[in-house]
């Protein structure tokens, strides 16, 4: 166990899943599923070393940060010099911008950075524009030596639906065409159920694979998705849905809850029966599941950072917006740079790659 004494706070590594998750869920800035103990296990499954750092005061956790170690994605590696970077996605989690626990966690991360030959420490906290203190949070990170990076690793903006109204009101708030599509699917005999068997899981992954090939997006291998099911679905914290018509699986969706938030994680549709409005009815069932499991918010995840029709994913934004809700923009990426020359080369590589990808 790593134990570091700080002038105010002790830092240790946590190996107790219940202790870790209970702290995250107790916070005003509620812990994100991407900082959960289970998500750390998924990082390990992908071969990424992780550190679950906790700040303690009087034996009580007052701050937490899940760090993963990743290789620097340069086009050429330097022989004999392994170069990594440390990444904290939707963390660290502390109560206030000026909390001593924040500085203590960052100091501990610096020690790890030296051990891991890190080029930088990158943070993308779970602080968004609905927090009146967002400027104070950014100022706190800058005071600790971080600088803002305009290029986010994880997309900053998401679309969120408030699930607290009753289902009748939620449905009434959908775009008229969306309500019509749901009713049409029901009339045409589309049914939605939760996956129950290995055969159902195979149908889920087959639909993801079809969608990945059709829409050209990255898909993790099948065993990684099986591990997600093991970490979340088997614990009752996620649901895998299948939409079917006349015995054929035509759409699928995986949602995960953590506390009173639910996230839309993965979805896929078949290439057949394109006349059926299969996505909308599946989405509606995912809202119902989230509400029945105590969730107050449903996060559709990524929409364009700049809300202009010329931006990539504008069509996805239009679809998500049709269910009602609001945009949520997370604070900018914060980088602490240890090796400026390598970091500069990396930033240049990212700029060029993004320009060519547009």
Per-residue model confidence (pLDDT) at position 81: 75
Q: What is the mean pLDDT of residues 165-174?
A: 97
Per-residue model confidence (pLDDT) at position 29: 67
The CA-CA-CA angle for residues 85, 331, 295, to 5°, reads 100
Convert the pLDDT of each residue in 284-323 to its tens digit.
999 999 999 999 999 999 999 999 999 999 999 999 999 9
DSSP-derived secondary structure for 73-108: --SSPPTT---EEEEEET--EESSTT-HHHHHHHHH
Per-residue model confidence (pLDDT) at position 6: 56
Per-residue model confidence (pLDDT) at position 80: 67
Q: What is the CATH number of domain 159-329?
A: 3.40.630.30
pLDDT band at 347 (very low <50, low <70, confident <90, very high): confident
Convert the pLDDT of each residue in 95-149 to its tens digit.
999 999 999 999 999 999 999 999 999 999 999 999 999 999 999 999 999 999 9
pLDDT band at 75 (very low <50, low <70, confident <90, very high): low
Per-residue model confidence (pLDDT) at position 241: 98
**Residue 234 contacts residue 226 (beta carbons within 8 Å):** no
| 3-155+331-357 classified as CATH 3.90.1570.10 | no
Q: In this prediction, what percent of the chain has a pLDDT beyond 70?
A: 94
E strand or H helix that includes residue 244: strand 238-245
Domain segments of the chain as ranges: 3-155+331-357, 159-329
Tokens of 334: 């914060």
**Residue 233 contacts residue 225 (beta carbons within 8 Å):** no
**Residue 159 contacts residue 325 (beta carbons within 8 Å):** yes
Q: What is the mean pLDDT of residues 160-179?
A: 98
Confidence check: pLDDT of 7 > 60: no
Q: Beta strand 147-149 with 157-162: parallel, antiparallel or unpaired?
A: unpaired
Q: What is the pTM of this model?
A: 0.93
Convert the pLDDT of each residue in 183-201 to its tens digit.
999 999 999 999 999 999 9
Per-residue model confidence (pLDDT) at position 8: 59
3-state secondary structure of 192: strand
Per-residue model confidence (pLDDT) at position 358: 62
**Is there a common fold for 3-155+331-357 and 159-329?**
yes
Average pLDDT over the chain, rounded to an integer: 93
Return the higher-pLDDT residue of 86 and 2. Answer: 86
């Amino acid at each position: 166990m790593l134990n570091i004494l700080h002038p105010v706070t002790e830092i240790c590594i946590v190996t107790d899943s219940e202790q870790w998750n209970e702290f995250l869920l107790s916070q005003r800035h509620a812990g994100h599923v991407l900082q959960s103990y289970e998500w750390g296990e998924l990082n390990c499954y992908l071969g990424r070393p992780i550190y679950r750092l906790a700040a303690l005061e009087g034996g009580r956790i007052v701050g937490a940060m899940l760090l993963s170690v990743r290789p620097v994605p340069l086009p050429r590696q330097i022989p004999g010099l392994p170069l990594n970077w440390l990444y904290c996605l939707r963390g660290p989690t502390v109560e206030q911008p000026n909390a001593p626990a924040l500085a203590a966690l960052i100091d501990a991360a610096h020690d790890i950075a030296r051990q891991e030959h890190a080029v930088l420490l990158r943070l993308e906290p779970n602080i968004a524009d609905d927090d009146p203190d967002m400027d104070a949070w950014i100022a706190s990170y800058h005071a600790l030596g971080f600088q803002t990076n305009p290029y986010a690793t994880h997309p900053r903006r998401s679309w969120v639906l408030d699930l607290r109204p009753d289902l009748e009101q939620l449905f009434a708030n959908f775009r008229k065409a969306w309500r019509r599509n749901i009713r049409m699917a029901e009339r045409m005999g589309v049914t939605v159920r939760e996956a129950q068997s290995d055969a159902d899981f195979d149908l889920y992954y087959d639909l993801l694979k079809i969608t990945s090939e059709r829409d050209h997006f990255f898909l993790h291998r099948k065993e990684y998705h099986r591990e997600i099911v093991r970490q979340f679905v088997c614990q009752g914290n996620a649901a895998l849905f299948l939409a079917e018509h006349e015995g054929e699986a035509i759409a699928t969706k995986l949602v995960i809850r953590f506390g009173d938030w639910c996230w839309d994680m993965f979805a896929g549709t078949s290439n057949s029966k394109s006349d059926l409005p299969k996505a909308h009815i599946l989405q509606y069932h995912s809202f119902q599941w989230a509400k029945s499991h105590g969730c107050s918010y449903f996060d559709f995840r990524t929409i364009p950072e700049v809300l202009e029709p010329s931006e990539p994913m504008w069509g996805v934004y239009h679809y998500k917006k049709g269910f009602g809700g609001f945009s949520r923009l997370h604070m900018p990426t914060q980088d602490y740079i240890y090796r400026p020359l390598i970091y500069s080369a990396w930033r240049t590589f990212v700029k060029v790659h993004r320009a060519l990808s547009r």
